[in-house]
Amino acid sequence: MSLRLAVALDGAGWHPAAWRLPDARPADLFTVGYWADLVAEAERADLDFVTVEDALGVQSARFHLPDDRTDQVRGRLDAVLLCARVAPLTSRIGLVPTTNVTHTEPFHIAMGIATLDYVSNGRAGWRPQVASRAADAAHFGRRTTPQLTDADLTGPEAIAAALEDLHAEAGEAVEATRRLWDSWEDDAEIRDAATERFFDRNKVHHIDFRGKHFSVRGPAITPRPPQGQPLITVLAHACAPFRLAAGGADVVYVTPHSAADVTRVLGEVESAKTAVGRPADHPLLVFGELVVFLDREPGAAAGRAQRLDELDGAPLTSDAEIFTGTPAELADLLLDRRASGLDGFRLRPGALPHDLTLITEELVPELRRRGAFAPDREADTLRGRLGLTRPLSRYAAVVQSL
């Protein structure tokens, strides 16, 4: 089976000093053209999808608190709106924006992602994210969220434990969103002027979702998306987010730092699937995460990463493994990790556009030469490209009048 490959786009790259490089485009970060160029580059290499980061507060060098640094990129465009704008400029690649579920209603998220699926003709995905910074709540004034302390940052499990209730709430948000996507049956729209019937009322359903954190009556105002269920992806490092992924995602991103670590993480994913009772016929694809710095000459990428660290004043740290090397060396690592059981990878380019270009122009051809990357060109949706079926609406057999 072909290895699946995605890239995670964020600002000028995942290194906070990347915007200061000569080939960076800091003046263009808030223009559509900048993002369209990046996505087009990824599409030319036939990558499966791109993800776009987002948050409810400006970036910070601190995980749990805002900072006052002015020497790093600050500010973002809305990821869903940006993907909707880029979608008509592309034709094959999947578009997966991040949205926060702690302070955003599932109804709004469901309509936004469904609309993106229509705009992209079935290439939309979604990455739900919780608000890990209590300061984000002040933008909305309706609730407070836990303030993490330095003691909570001792490791992924400690952070997840402190945010466990938010992950449980996120699980409810994902379930409500999925139900809203199903609330219109596929053939609910009739559009028959002769009989004066635009839609069949009996095929549009209240979802009546009731959870601990909120309830959603439904139905959606947007008809069922082209994919039925747009792709849902979750980044997970610990037990609670693993359960979130197992309960409602199609793809989980994981961050092992070795082949042995892959085995451990895959075991945790399987345990989470068992704990939530995920059906065996609902596949959960597992993508490994890597921050990548690439150059054609051996040693050059490590030198470039070191210079970026010097510009920033500190070594880059990341939840994911940081790789520096040649595209061929990265291909070796990816194939080794795939042999351990991973389905694919989401690569985070350390600096844009340099590392994205090395992925598309050097890594992808290298993987093709090794027979490891041969994406499905016949599939016309993101789900189809990843080998996932289009699910039926859970309400299709229900006859219910509005």
**Proportion of the chain above pLDDT 70, given as a percent:** 99
Q: What residues contact 296, with CB distance under 8 A and at least 6 apart?
A: 326, 327, 358, 362
Q: How confident is the model at residue 364 (pLDDT cuts 50, 70, 90)?
A: very high
Closest by CA to 100, choosing from 63, 53, 158, is 53
Q: How many Cα neighbours within 13 Å face the side chain of 27?
A: 2
Residue range 4-37, pLDDT digits in tens: 999 999 999 999 999 999 999 999 999 999 999 9
As a residue count, the chain comes to 402
CB atoms inside a 10 Å sphere around CB 390: 14
Q: How confident is the model at residue 377 (pLDDT cuts 50, 70, 90)?
A: confident
- CB burial string 179-218: b at 16+ within 10 A, e below: bbbbbbbeebbeeeeeeeeebeeebbbbbebeeebeebeb
Closest by CA to 257, choosing from 320, 174, 305, is 320
Residue range 176-194, pLDDT digits in tens: 999 999 999 999 998 989 8
Helix axes 164-182, 106-119, angle to 10 degrees: 50
- Tell the CATH topology of 4-165+234-368: TIM Barrel (3.20.20)
- Each domain of the chain, given as residue ranges in start order, spans 4-165+234-368
End-to-end CA distance of the chain: 45
Q: Are 233 and 126 in contact (CB under 8 A)?
A: yes
pTM of this structure: 0.96
Residue positions forming the annotated binding site for FMN: 54, 98
Round the average pLDDT of the chain to a whole number and report it. Answer: 95
Q: What is the dihedral of CA 323, 327, 330, 332, to 10 degrees?
A: -160
DSSP, residue by residue, 221-262: SSPPPTTSS-EEEEE--SHHHHHHHHHH-SEEEE--SSHHHH
Q: Are 24 and 352 in contact (CB under 8 A)?
A: yes
| C-alpha–C-alpha distance, residues 83 and 32, integer Å | 10
Residue range 134-172, pLDDT digits in tens: 899 899 988 999 888 888 888 889 988 889 999 999 999
